[in-house]
Each structure stands twice: as C-alpha cells, then as structure tokens.
C-alpha cells in the first residue's frame, strides 16, 4: 500500500514503468499528480494521503483529520481537513472530500516535524477543529 506523488513514483520506478502499471490496471491515479501502487479500493488512510498530496508543498493534515491519525476517537468525518501555507493555490478540481484551509503559521511549533503523514500537533488540531465547525455545540 503506497500513495505517492507522481514525481516520486517516476524517480523510483521510471516513467515508462509507471505509465505501464497504470495502463495495465495494476496501479491507479486517483488525482492529478498522485499514484497508488494497487488497483483496489482506497482505505481511509490512503484517501487522506491522496488529498494531502494534491495540496501545496508544506501542507499538513489538520483539525479532526490530524486527530484521527493521532488515534483520537469520537469525531468521525467523511472529509479531510488540510491546512496549506497562506498564499498557496487552491487544490485542483476533482478531489472529493478535501476541505482546504490556509494559515500563516505552519512552523514546527504547529506541525510535528517528524511524524508522517505531515500533520498539525494535537493542541493546534483541536483548536482548528473547533474554529472550523459549523455549530457551537460541536465545537
């Protein structure tokens, strides 16, 4: 199970091998610039990675999406929250379930420097989730 940016797949396997695997149906391309090295349905973790990879460099899972990866329970969502650096472009069309947000603060104080996938720390994730919710009760 591996979700990767197309450039990484090409660097690792070669352009013709990646094209052939996709054309043969062994791999899939769920979004522009992203490949998955299997042909089956995507898991929740893989969907989060696909949605993160279509965002600008320096982006991170955030809010309830980051908390889910950190094994917090009780707040399931069908979408993926991703925080992007302020000024970055909106992700391309066709990525269902992605909720992009922008922030001027994405330093190591807010984003864990070593955990993968890249995500905001739990304290920041809780505050973001409360700020992005649609109801005071849910916050």
Share of the chain above pLDDT 70, in %: 96
Mean local confidence (pLDDT), 44-72 = 91
3-state secondary structure of 103: strand
State the virtual CA torsion across 29, 34, 35, 40 in degrees, nearest 10.
Answer: -60
Q: What is the pLDDT of residues 98-112, one digit of tens each?
A: 998 998 877 778 888
Residue with tokens 């299997």: 38
> Rounded to whole angstroms, how far apart are CA atoms 34 and 70?
24
- pTM value is 0.85
For 125, residues 6+ apart whose C-beta sits below 8 A from its C-beta are: 62, 63, 64, 66, 67, 70, 119
Mean local confidence (pLDDT), 30-44 = 91
For 47, residues 6+ apart whose C-beta sits below 8 A from its C-beta are: 80, 97
């Amino acid at each position: 199970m591996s979700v990767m940016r197309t450039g990484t797949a090409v660097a690792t396997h070669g352009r013709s091998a990646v094209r052939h695997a996709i054309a043969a149906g062994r791999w899939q391309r769920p979004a522009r610039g992203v490949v998955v090295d299997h042909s089956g349905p995507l898991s929740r973790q893989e969907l989060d990675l696909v949605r993160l990879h279509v965002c600008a460099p320096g982006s991170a899972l955030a809010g309830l999406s980051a908390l889910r990866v950190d094994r917090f329970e009780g707040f399931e969502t069908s979408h993926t929250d991703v925080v992007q650096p302020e000024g970055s472009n909106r992700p391309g069309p066709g990525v269902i379930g992605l909720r992009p947000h922008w922030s001027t603060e994405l330093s190591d104080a807010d984003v864990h420097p070593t955990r993968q996938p890249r995500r905001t720390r739990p304290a920041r994730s809780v505050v973001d989730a409360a700020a992005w919710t649609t109801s005071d009760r849910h916050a």
